[in-house]
Chains A and B, each alone.
Chain A
Amino acid sequence: DAGVTQSPTHLIKTRGQHVTLRCSPISGHKSVSWYQQVLGQGPQFIFQYYEKEERGRGNFPDRFSARQFPNYSSELNVNALLLGDSALYLCASSVRFSGANVLTFGAGSRLTVL
């Protein structure tokens, strides 16, 4: 079975642009979460979706948005990019969204903002 897949793996944008990152969960997983990992830091929680509904949101500005599709894949959108948005964006999936569920992570999308 394929694991959590993310695309693109690397991308470079300039300040003010918009970016869309994509995530396909493990088959059978209905919950997708997004995390931002700045270099040298641990990941920070951005969003959690379950059954196409937002179930949790971290402390990120409204420039960050996400959605989950009927096939449980997900997109993370970031508008008006800032230099500080440069990071590794990790997607994780789980069967459900309860605290007990183990998250399986993808390899991430490395975003560089110039």
Chain B
Amino acid sequence: AQTVTQSQPEMSVQEAETVTLSCTYDTSESDYYLFWYKQPPSRQMILVIRQEAYKQQNATENRFSVNFQKAAKSFSLKISDSQLGDAAMYFCAYRSADGGGADGLTFGKGTHLIIQP
């Protein structure tokens, strides 16, 4: 079974600064997908960014980018120019490409991101 580990329960950053959230995972599969989801107090999980394991190029979405290190099984999220609206729980998630993804997403425990004005 796959596991996802987020070692930072909480992170704090000044508004407009850059912050990096860490995620490591354990799998024996070669093909899979990795995700970062954001969960604000409204509870709805919102997709931030997605990475396909077969792609070497790191995914980028505006101020959000990832550092995907497949050999190290590491998938960190960098948020540039942090904004107050970025404050939320951030979850790293893994999904197998085999079996049609029937195992669903495996989530880490999350990192609570605080933005200091």
Contacts and interface: CB of A to CB of B under 8 A. Distances in A.
A72 interface: no
Interface string A6-36: 0000000000000000000000000001010
A99 B52 CA distance: 10
Interface in A59-81: none
Contacts of B52: 100
Interface stretch (B14-22, B61-69, B74-82, B96-104): B96-104
B97 A45 contact: no
A105 B93 CA distance: 14
Interface residues of B, number: 31
Contacts of A99: 32-33, 95-98, 100-101
A88 B89 CA distance: 15
Contacts of A101: 101
Nearest to A99: B101
Interface of B: 4, 32-33, 35, 37, 42-47, 50, 52, 91, 93, 95-110
23 contacts: A33-B104, A35-B104, A42-B4, A42-B93, A42-B107, A43-B105, A43-B107, A45-B103, A45-B104, A45-B105, A48-B104, A55-B102, A56-B104, A98-B97, A99-B33, A99-B98, A100-B52, A100-B97, A102-B50, A103-B105, A104-B47, A105-B45, A108-B43
Given A40-B109, A56-B101, 16 more contacts: A33-B104, A33-B105, A42-B91, A44-B107, A55-B102, A56-B102, A56-B103, A88-B43, A98-B100, A99-B33, A99-B98, A102-B35, A102-B47, A103-B47, A104-B47, A105-B46
